[in-house]
Amino acid sequence: MKKKLKIAYYCSNRTVFPPPKDLITANADVMQDMAEAMIKKGHSVTIYASKGSSMKKAKIVNLGLLPHKLDYAFIPEEWVKDLHVAYRIAYISELIKNSDKYDIIHLHVGRVIFGEPFVKFAKCPVVFTIHENFVSPFKPLMTFFKKSKLISISNAQRKTFPSLNYVETIYHGVNVENYPFSLKPKNNCVFLSRVSKEKGVEFAIKASKQNKIKLDIYGPGKEDYLRDSVLSQTNKDISYKGMVKKYSKEWYNAYASAKAFLMPIQWDEPFGLTMIEAMACGTPVIAFDRGSVSEIVQDGKTGFIVKPFDKNKKPNIKGYAEAIKKLYQMPEEEYIKMRRNCREHIEKKFTVQKMADSHEKLYYKLLKSKK
């Protein structure tokens, strides 16, 4: 029987941990699922998090620091970014100082460069889950820290720097049993995400209008963007519902009651949790083929994948609108089969249990290689 592990996790200090349900915090949500799953497996879990954090059966190390709460995505002031980095450095350096207390340190810090300078001082293996895409200006630093152990969340994520020390690709997962599976959706589509240009909400609106279908939009966004690009486009069929609390009845229902989940992303997203959340409810996904989409959605089986650009290298809004039309014109029995496919696909490949099992296996592998 393998020994139970002492695992330390760290993610962010914008909020307490677990994060409030009225915020979109994908990194922290994934880490929460991971920590809870490891506790269920009998491992000892310590979480470095802001003062006020609390998780059943986990030890919290808070350094006496309250969350800074500010988000650079919504307050683009340089000092906000500096504060964010400073908090992370404070927590990670303290965690590494205490590394002799743990078997594994697992960092979910988005940009791995926040933690890489400290790894050489660690007395146990340190592994990073990459939650952001690399960009080319990071190449000198990433080359300097090329021995860092990285977990990619999709194979697409590796494309910028394929030669780094990736120890595994492990997909995110959801607690499928919590997601209501529906075979009787309404006739509307849904967009549920951060409401921003890179998420493609404008294209979701245009394609819905072209098909004369209803679209419900959920999520937070910058006030000026919401006003100019979203609220100005609403009508009796296009509705902006605002932010809805995660895991609330309304949140689950937004996914489960939709005919399709629209994701016309405008960037190479490394993993889209919303896609597996929608499919867990049986809701097909219609997405542009960028980032990890083709690793998550099965084209023609759990939704439709659309070429992101037309022959003139402009966003393929025509192709996206045609994909929506195609789904609405599917025979009823074929569409019901697609919804069943969605649920089965998530149950087979994207569960928290599968994600936790893969991480546990990797932890033991890293400990073995250390000896």
Q: Which residue in 285, 280, 317 sits closest to 300, CA to CA? A: 285
181-185, Cβ contacts within 8 angstroms, sequence gap of 24 or more: 181/256, 181/280, 181/281, 181/282, 181/343, 182/256, 182/257, 182/281, 182/282, 182/283, 182/339, 183/282, 183/336, 183/339, 183/340, 185/256, 185/257, 185/258, 185/259, 185/282, 185/283, 185/339
Sign of CA dihedral 258, 259, 264, 270: positive
Euclidean distance between CA atoms 274 and 259, whole angstroms: 15
Q: End-to-end CA distance of the chain: give it in Å, rounded.
A: 18
Report which DSSP code applies to 144. H
Tell me the pLDDT tens digit for each residue of 225-262: 999 999 999 999 999 999 888 899 999 999 999 999 99
Q: pTM of the prediction?
A: 0.92
Euclidean distance between CA atoms 55 and 46, whole angstroms: 10
Q: In what order do the strands lie in the sheet with 285-288?
A: 238-242, 215-218, 189-192, 260-263, 285-288, 303-306
The distance of Cα 18 from the centroid of its chain, to the nearest Å, equals 15
Q: Where are the alpha helices (DSSP H) in 52-200?
A: 78-97, 116-119, 139-144
Residues in the chain predicted with pLDDT less than 70, given as ranges, are: 1, 69-75, 371
Burial zone of 224 (CB within 10 Å; 0-12 exposed, 13-18 middle, 19+ buried): exposed
As a whole-number percent, the residues of the chain with pLDDT over 70 amount to: 98
Q: Which CATH architecture describes the domain 176-349?
A: 3-Layer(aba) Sandwich (3.40)
Domains 6-173+351-370 and 176-349 share a fold: yes
Q: Are 68 and 84 in contact (CB under 8 A)?
A: yes
Euclidean distance between CA atoms 5 and 2, whole angstroms: 9
| Residue 91 φ/ψ, nearest 5 degrees | -75, -45
Residue that has been written with the tokens 């928290």 in this structure: 352
pLDDT in the model for residue 84 = 82
Report which DSSP code applies to 228. I
Cβ neighbours of residue 332 under 8 Å, at least 6 residues apart? none
Sign of CA dihedral 355, 361, 363, 369: negative
Using DSSP's 3-state secondary structure scheme, residue 324 falls into helix
User: Of 3.40.50.2000, 1.10.10.10, 2.60.120.380, 3.40.640.10, which CATH number belongs to 6-173+351-370?
Assistant: 3.40.50.2000
If you average pLDDT over every residue of the chain, what do you get? 92
> Other C-beta atoms within 10 Å of 268: how many?
17
Ordered by start, the domain boundaries in the chain are 6-173+351-370, 176-349
pLDDT in the model for residue 178 = 95
CA contacts within 13 A on the Cβ side of 227: 3
In residues, how long is the chain?
A: 371
